[in-house]
Amino acid sequence: METSPSLVISQDDFQKITALLSIAKFEIATLLEEELERAQIVPPAQLLPDIIAMNSQITFIDLDTKKEQVVTLVYPHDADVNAHKISILAPVGAALIGLRVGQTIDWPLNDKKVKRIQVTGVVHAGNGVKL
């Protein structure tokens, strides 16, 4: 990974994602585990509103295609492409967790390409305030 922005993850999300990774055995799980190892873990109440957490609605731009997307980051059992709900175990989902508005990341995809994305907005579940 060329760009490794700082990450902040709530203790609750960290524990749930770590448990999920213990049963997931594929490349994306390894990449996500590496991201979690370098993340700053904070109590949920201390997670700033501009940081992506589970169940956040995220607006980001694919810097290669200039296409803007809005997705909700969810656990695998809640993933639904038609509803724009992306799994934490999908390549882009794993790239988003812990990022904050304005950060950019280069994330490897399955086809040996790299997805370059920049976060432009976050709405936390139940918050309704877009940053």
Is 128 part of a structural domain of the chain? no
Return the pLDDT at 118. 96
Q: Which residues on adjacent β-strands are paired with residue 88?
A: none
Return the pLDDT at 122. 96
Is 111 part of a structural domain of the chain? yes
Return the pLDDT at 130. 52
Structural domain that includes position 14: 8-123
Is 3 part of a structural domain of the chain? no
Return the pLDDT at 31. 78
CATH number of the structural domain spanning residue 33 = 3.10.50.30
Return the pLDDT at 1. 41
Is 2 part of a structural domain of the chain? no
Is 14 part of a structural domain of the chain? yes
Is 66 part of a structural domain of the chain? yes
Number of domains in the chain: 1
Return the pLDDT at 127. 55
Could you state, in chain order, the average pLDDT of each consecutive group of 10 residues for the chain (131 residues)?
A: 73 86 70 84 92 96 94 94 92 89 85 87 72 48
Is 20 part of a structural domain of the chain? yes
Count other C-beta atoms under 10 Å from residue 19's C-beta.
10
d(CA 51, CA 79): 20
